[in-house]
Amino acid sequence: MIFSSIVIALLSSIDSLGIGITYSLIGTKLSRAATYVLFFLTLFTTSFAMLFGNLIKNYISNTITNNLGALFLILIGIYMILKAKGATESDFDHSKIIDIKEGFFLGIALSLDSIGIVIGVTVAGICNIALPVLLSFFQILFLKIGSYIGTKLGKNFSIPDKSWSILSGFCLLLVGTLKILI
């Protein structure tokens, strides 16, 4: 089950890679304080989502929860593909630094996808208690890696941040579909 949690955490966090790349290509940096805000906000929201998923699971049969969780993953995957959010929306004051307040709003935006995913995988029974920590860790890690990649690529080359949301969405569609079929 830890392997499933790692895969789900990776899929839920991959769009952070695109955001990190985009931020560095436009010269925007994430402050250390904003990094901590992102980590703990993600940890809190996904822990709450996991608790909520477990509550739902207690009142519904295993067959229904498995199918409901899988359906939820499919719907979140479709949502991520359709939404394909932009990355520069969080730098409200255009200072080129994401501060604590802006980090809070970026954390909420990044957590929205994760909340639905965590509820779905919890109801489906394919994750464990380590998921919120893993998700928080990978989200920060992908932001940092994306920033590094963006810095190395420079301003001559760009990867649309939409690509990462679309890739995550398709992977979630696949996981949800396999969960129903298997």
Q: What is the 3-state secondary structure (H, E, C) of 17-34?
A: HHHHHHHHHCCCEECHHH
16 within domain boundaries: yes
115 within domain boundaries: yes
60 within domain boundaries: yes
pTM of the model: 0.74
Domain that includes residue 133, residue range? 2-68+87-161
178 within domain boundaries: no
120 within domain boundaries: yes
CA nearest neighbour of 52 among 111, 117, 119, 130: 119
CA-CA distances (angstroms) from residue 94 to 23, 53, 123, 128? Answer: 12, 38, 40, 39
36 within domain boundaries: yes
The token pair at 126 is 């394919």
Distance CA 73, CA 173 (A): 6
174 within domain boundaries: no
pLDDT of residue 121: 87
30 within domain boundaries: yes
Give the total number of structural domains in the chain: 1
pLDDT digits (tens, 9 = 90+) for 29-86: 888 999 999 999 999 999 999 999 988 888 877 777 677 777 877 877 787 777 765 4
